[in-house]
Structure 1
Amino acid sequence: MADWLDAVTFNDQGLVCVTAIDAHDNSVLMQAWMNREALEETVKHGEMVYYSRSRQRLWQKGESSGHTQRVLGLWLDCDGDAIIAKVDQRGGIACHTGHKSCFYRRLEDGEWLEESPVLKASEDIYGQ
């Protein structure tokens, strides 16, 4: 087992929070989870691999959409329980809704307002 993995503090479910940041403009793209195996696979292959809590399995970002994330750097916070990943977001879309970022809604006057456009319809990405 790699020593660097021992510095990561996984929660009770064996997961660590990961925030993906666009390396080109530093925008926050998405937040997801990794287990130990996902983190190992990410480092081994240089592509972001997450753990899907709903599907209970590993998933490579973009495995269905083609919008993969090439890893340019990983940072571990001081407590060891959160990771930031700087990525090259291929296709310019990180969100399954077709937005660049999963964080496209901003709270204003008690309402969540969409502040960025859909770049590609979900149906066109996933063929549904």
Structure 2
Amino acid sequence: MIDIRDAGKFIAPALLEPDFYNRKSFTCAAKFYTLVEIVKTWSKVTGKEIRPALSGPSSLPPALEVAMKGARGLITVYAYFGPTGQADLDWTLEQLTDKLTSWEQFVEDHKPWFED
């Protein structure tokens, strides 16, 4: 998850030390959240219980449904950004000096948009 308000926090280190960060990549996210974490946080902050639709009838065309089922296992093997994704994210976060916005804070900050 990345809050667009945090974009500068990822750019600042490279601007301050361009030679050091030359040819390096940043994994620009505050954290890798699971669907369960996202749903629980949303429910907690908004006070409205939601559940992910992980099973049941699909509105996808049958061929796409088959392809999606085959792809689900890939997240287990390759994670968000490949096999080194978590290590890459950890390295990126070590480079930053400013605190990033958490998913909970993001939902809290934008809560009025979600209310009826």
Say whether the fold is shared (TM-score over 0.5).
Answer: no
Q: Which has the higher strand share?
A: 1
Structure number with greater Rg is 2
TM-score class normalised by the smaller sequence: under 0.3
Give the structure-1-normalised TM-score.
Answer: 0.20
Give the structure-2-normalised TM-score.
Answer: 0.22
The higher-RCO structure (CA 8 Å, 6+ apart) is 2
